[in-house]
Amino acid sequence: MEQESIDSLMNVAGELLVAKNSLPYLADNVAGLSHEVIKREIMDKYIFINRLTEQLQDLIMGMRMLPISYVFDRYPKLVRDISKKLGKKVKLEMQGGETKLDKNMIEMLADPMIHIMRNSLDHGVEMPDVREQKGKSAMGNVTLKAYTQSDRIIIEIIDDGAGINVERVASKVLEKGLMTPEQIDNLDENEMAELVLLPGLSTAEEITEFSGRGVGMDVVRKSIEGFGGSINIKTKANQGTVITLSIPMSLAVTSLLHIQMNDIHYGLPMDSVNETVKLERSEIEYLHNEPFVYIRGEVIPLLFIKSMLNEEEMKDKPLSIVVLNIKDNFLAVVVNNFLGQLDVVQKPLVGIMEGHPLFSGTALLGNGQIIMAMDPIGLLGISQKLKKDVAVA
């Protein structure tokens, strides 16, 4: 821990002590003050304490950050060992190791990254003689690259191998009945490559130490999405594959849209909220008995969860709707009230609630009430299962 950070922390702690000591003076003088003056004095103290807590949060967050080289430094040996066992020649290049990430995120990245690296070496990079026949260098190249983009970290795993055999992937998808031929015909090359993220899909013809064990890239996708990340795949035949991970810098503080449904407080992650709108019931349309709405030219499915809403409160009023963008899929969710935006420290669910399909965690409001953080992917996933409860009254 840097001395400068400790000194800054001590300065903020000193200012917080001053703020705390000023409160008894305010309490002693309340009797002689008007309501407006009391309100102004309290707001002044709030603004002062809020500034200090934000500084404290930034300092602590900074102390939790570690360079991503803590993850990257594991891979030179991994690449050497696997390439040796496979009889391949592979050169590993690493860029952006100084990019900083929350230490908890670094721990959660370790397993998905190892899986991706194994796939690149086993499925991606060809044998030396095959590479030479294609006019490539006998030595394959794998590049790990990390950089910051807004409040997220982007990690790219790039290989110059054979690329993903999209025809074989499509064949496996059809074989397992995961999609229809018509659906596959409408996909471009990169969308077909991303079919490898479907559950239980493996293109390996035989079981080896590194592949064909039924543990596919869907495990990686679930892990990455589990901590708010996303995965994207681009491939070119005989040129290679680029796997891009986009992950939040930290999970310590989460920004939520605070909503209310049937007097219970919920939160939706702000990075999934596209917009909030008010619509009349007459604007709801139906297709095959399923409700949808038109918003800015988009046809968006409507999720109206009766068991979670206070329908009495909604009578003769416009519907409050949150439009979510979940992996480029729009979903309109009816709520009772919008209550604003919150920055909270989210706690994971434990016990019987652990792994809940709809909720990702909890947080405390300023008045001591609990707010349940909803998982947008869970909402999208269970929307089909809630069809009996979806019809708008």
**Tens-digit pLDDT profile for the chain (393 aa)?**
567 778 888 888 888 888 888 888 888 888 777 888 888 888 888 888 888 888 887 788 777 788 899 889 989 999 999 999 999 999 999 999 898 888 888 888 888 888 899 888 988 899 999 999 999 999 999 999 999 887 788 999 999 988 888 888 888 888 878 788 888 888 877 788 888 888 766 655 544 554 543 456 888 888 888 777 888 899 888 899 999 998 887 766 778 999 998 888 999 988 889 899 998 888 888 887 788 888 888 888 888 888 888 888 888 888 899 999 887 788 899 999 898 888 887 787 778 887 787 888 888 887 778 899 888 887 887 766 655 444 444
Question: By C-alpha distance, which of 246, 42, 251 is closest to 157?
Answer: 246
Residues across the chain:
393
Compute the C-alpha angle 291/297/298, nearest 5°.
Answer: 45
Residue type, 275: E
Distance of CA 55 to CAs 47, 59, 217, 251, 352, Å? 12, 6, 40, 18, 36
C-alpha span between 29 and 7 (Å, rounded): 34
C-alpha span between 68 and 59 (Å, rounded): 19
Question: By C-alpha distance, which of 108, 91, 220, 218 is closest to 153?
Answer: 108
pLDDT at 212: 42
C-alpha span between 112 and 212 (Å, rounded): 17
C-alpha span between 335 and 298 (Å, rounded): 20
C-alpha span between 252 and 227 (Å, rounded): 11
Locus of tokens 């929307």: 383
pLDDT at 202: 62
pLDDT at 345: 79
Distance of CA 195 to CAs 122, 202, 314, Å? 18, 10, 42
CB-based contact 267:324 (threshold 8 Å): no
C-alpha span between 69 and 65 (Å, rounded): 12
pTM (2 decimals)?
A: 0.67
Residue type, 94: M
CB-based contact 392:292 (threshold 8 Å): no
Strand order from edge to edge, sheet including 139-149: 89-95, 139-149, 152-159, 240-248, 230-236
pLDDT at 214: 41
pLDDT at 66: 86
First-to-last alpha carbon distance for the chain, in angstroms, is 58
pLDDT at 122: 87
Q: What is the CA radius of gyration of the chain?
A: 26
pLDDT at 242: 92
Question: By C-alpha distance, which of 383, 179, 216 is closest to 301?
Answer: 383
